[in-house]
Each structure stands twice: as C-alpha cells, then as structure tokens.
Amino acid sequence: MPAKTMESLVNLCKRRGFIFQSSDIYGGLQGVYDYGPLGVELKNNLKAAWWRAMVYERDDIEGLDAAILTHKSVLKHSGHEATFSDPMVDCRKCKSRWRADQIKDGKCEKCGSADLTEARPFNLMFKTTVGPVADDEHYAYLRPETAQGIFCNFKNVMDSTSNKLPFGIAQIGKSFRNEITPKNFIFRVREFEQMELEFFVLPGTDEDWHAKWTESRVAWWREQGLESGNLQQFHQPKEELAHYSKATVDILYRFPHGMEELEGVANRTDFDLGSHSKNPQELGLTAKVEENADSVVKLTAPDPVTQKPLVPFVIEPSAGVDRGVLAVLTEAYTEEKLENGTERIVLKLKPHLAPIKVAVIPLARNKPEIVAKAKEIKDALLKLGLGRIYYENSGNIGKSYRRHDEVGTPLCVTVDFDTIGKGETADLEGTVTIRDRDTMKQVRVHASKLAEHITGYFRTAAV
C-alpha cells in the first residue's frame, strides 16, 4: 500500500536525508524546501529519466536551458502580468490570508471565523530589480514557468538545427510563484522545478497530438512506478481553461492529501508564438493576441509541403519535478510485517530512481582485509556507471539492511570472511552475499562475477 499520510513521508524524508525545510535553523521559510543527500539523488534520477525519454530516445526533440531572470516584455505579452493571479481573501479576525477558491464552508482554515474580506486578485510573480537603479523601469521577473524561455528561443533553435515540424523543445528548470498558501509538503511551494516540453505541430493536427502526448505521459508515469489505479485523467471544462488553452488534460495522482494534479497536457494553440511575434495580426492566427510593438521577429516555421511560413500550434506536457518526487515516494512507501513479528519500512522505488543503487557493506569493520576488499568492490562497481554506489560502514549488518530498505537501495553486497578466504567453508571462498531489497532473499556470488550479476539485474529491471 502507498503512504496513507503525509506525516509518514515527512518523517521519513527528514530522518533519512531526503528533504528538509529550508532555513530550518531560523524557523524555516514557508513554501521552500532543500533536498538532502538522498533527495537530490532521487530528484536527479527522475529528471534524468524524463530527459532520456524526451530527448535521447527521440529524434524530434531538442533540449534547452533558458535563463531564470525574465524580461518584463516577455511576461507582458504572454499575458502573465495581466492574468497570472489567484483570488485572495483576508481573515479579519486572525489576519491570515488564503486562496479564495480553497476556502471551505466560507470559514478561515486557521481560526474558523467567517469574517473574511471580498476576494481580490493577487499576482503570483516574483519581481526583482535589474541593475544598480531600483525604479519602475529597471525590473525583471523570476520566471513563473519555463515555457516562455522556450517560446522566445523558438527561432534560435529552428535556425541552429535541422528540425522541421513537428518537433519539440524540452527544458528542466526552476520556476517561482508567490503562492498565497503553500501547503502539503512539497506539493505546493514557492520555488520548484518543472519538466516541460513544447511540441510544435501543424495547425489541424493539434488535437491528435494532444491525445498522443496525454497517453504517452500517463504511460511514462507508470514506468516510474505509479500504479494505474492511482492515476486519472481530468479534462478541464472550457470555463476553467487558461487564457492560452484550447484544451487541457490534467494527469491526477492519488497523493496522501487527495487526488491532485501531477502533470498538465495543454493545447496552447498558436497563442504563444503569436504573442511574441512582431505584427502578429499579419500571421493569420487562430488565437486572439494583442499587437506586440516590442518584438523584433516573427516566430514562424515553414510548412513542410508548401514552404510557406505559418505559426505552429503547441502541445505542452508540463510536470512538476517536486510533485513527481512526492508521487514516487508516496507510491514506493511500504510498511511490512515480517514473519518473525517485526515490522520494516521499505521504499520500493524503481531501481533506476533509487538514490543509492548498491550498498557495499563490510561484515567486520575492525578487520582491515575485509574493509579493503569492500572498498575495492565499491570502486569496481562505481565504474559500471549505474549511479551512486555507497560504502556502508555505520553499524551491524541488520541495521545496515534496515537503513537501506528505508532509503530504497535495491541491492546490498556484504563482504565477509569467506570473501577474503578466511571463512570456514572452502566452497564460499571469494564470494559475497547479495541481498534483494524487496524479497530480502540472499544469494552468494563470486566477486569476479559480481559486476555481471548486478549489471544484469539493472538491465532486467529497466525492461
């Protein structure tokens, strides 16, 4: 069973070094979190899996890393300055502030008072000064999404590569939103990472591509270990669509706090490229965009057949990295009762996502020969390129196994007296013990065959 409460995940994340409250020694900064030694590995592994699926395994998608600081005109013409807001209310009794659309029964979540102000729009973007003069002219924004950097670089990517429609541009990076009420651990935060693809297609083919990308993204999340029964598709009603969207499907996951959005797949039409183009009215757009006197280019692509310039439609699968981390942690979290009556917590992460791929454990820390052999094996396994190989030297073997169960390490390799030829059984000389995280079964393998065995395990697990 996946984790039933957020508290169990929060406790595990802090205890085992996955995620910490940012600036915790000063009381914490609300809605901001730091990823610890194991958390950064899990996060990087999830991002690497996304990048591999989006960029490496396809020939029609390029990568990008655009700047975080964003020109004010970009977010003016994208519509963010005018529309990127949430309705906010104040509680007159306790002075707390809330998103109006999340208030239940018309009462303050903190004190229960019904004495609330009228809702008013609150813009979510972080504004910052650029240069030495702080005035109304010299400012920029911390980007509220990674998408606009992709749109602004559309022509640069087209001109520098041989891609033709349909093709995409992928990006992973930080975004910032001044959330009114960040909550539910890392689900809703003020600083977060996005994994975002803008896939440019011919007008008229957009609905088919939208359906294809929705199914592809659901399938990918299943490959990361999320059970299909915990995933749902929600087609946003027209009255709830963003200003740029023709259609949006939210991929929902059953988090401990309920069914919530994990990823959105939007049909953004030709709104974005049109908005950032000079003289957009001349381009025959389907989306209504305002005149852009600030732009210096027309963001068009040649029709593959006629070679006439057109403004592509855009399909956008956009996922939050942090929400992805929370989802795979939720799904992997397992509490088991063992046959001997004891209990264990185990993170049954997919092997490619596990922060530590293999833990190498010396049975006796006070025996130099065993320690030296364990370190030799660790270094040899590291050369396989699987990810982090951990030399575990912190306690007895039972406690080491339990620790690595909790952090999701798929395999533990124990080096003992038999490994160095000083055991009591001649047939076991030169062998090590491999323990499987999920089954807890142990097998003896000769050290010379260890790399082959482990490589085979991860190759099979990836299928």
Q: State mean pLDDT over 451-459.
A: 96
Give the pLDDT confidence score for residue 287 in this predicted structure.
Answer: 94
Q: Specify the pTM.
A: 0.94
Domains of the chain (ranges; CATH) run 6-71+127-328 (3.30.930.10), 85-123 (no CATH), 356-461 (3.40.50.800)
Give the pLDDT confidence score for residue 281 in this predicted structure.
Answer: 86
Q: Which residues does residue 116 pair with via DSSP β-bridges, in sequence order?
A: 91
- The per-residue pLDDT for range 82-141, each reduced to its tens digit, is 888 889 999 999 999 999 988 989 999 899 999 999 999 998 999 999 999 888 889 999
Give the pLDDT confidence score for residue 108 in this predicted structure.
Answer: 95
Give the pLDDT confidence score for residue 136 in this predicted structure.
Answer: 80
Say which residues have a Cβ less than 8 Å from residue 70's Cβ, sequence separation at least 6.
Answer: 140, 141, 142, 143, 148, 149
Q: Is 29 helix (H, G, I), strand (E, B) or coil?
A: coil
Q: How many other CB atoms are found less than 10 A from the CB of residue 279? A: 11
Give the pLDDT confidence score for residue 321 in this predicted structure.
Answer: 98
Say which residues have a Cβ less than 8 Å from residue 339's Cβ, sequence separation at least 6.
Answer: none
Structure tokens at 276: 């950032």
- For the chain, the C-alpha Rg in angstroms (whole number) is 26
Distance of CA 278 to the CA centre of its chain: 34
- The per-residue pLDDT for range 274-308, each reduced to its tens digit, is 999 999 989 999 999 999 989 999 999 999 999 99
Give the pLDDT confidence score for residue 268 in this predicted structure.
Answer: 97
Question: Which band of pLDDT confidence, cut at 50, 70 and 90, is reported for residue 439?
Answer: very high
Give the pLDDT confidence score for residue 357 in this predicted structure.
Answer: 98
User: What percentage of residues in the chain have a pLDDT greater than 90?
Assistant: 89
**DSSP structure string for 117-167:** PPPEEEE--EEEE-SS--SSSSEEEE-S-SHHHHHHTHHHHHHHS---SSE
Give the pLDDT confidence score for residue 214 in this predicted structure.
Answer: 98
Residue 304, classified by CB atoms within 10 Å of its CB into exposed (0-12), middle (13-18) or buried (19+), is exposed
Distance CA 157, CA 80 (A): 24
Q: Is 217 helix (H, G, I), strand (E, B) or coil?
A: helix
Least confident of 232-236, 374-378, 388-392, 423-427: 423-427
- The per-residue pLDDT for range 158-195, each reduced to its tens digit, is 999 989 999 999 999 999 999 998 999 999 999 999 99
Helix, strand and coil percent figures for the chain, each rounded to 5: 30, 30, 40
Question: Which band of pLDDT confidence, cut at 50, 70 and 90, is reported for residue 377?
Answer: very high
Asked if the model's pLDDT at residue 463 lies above 80, the reply is no
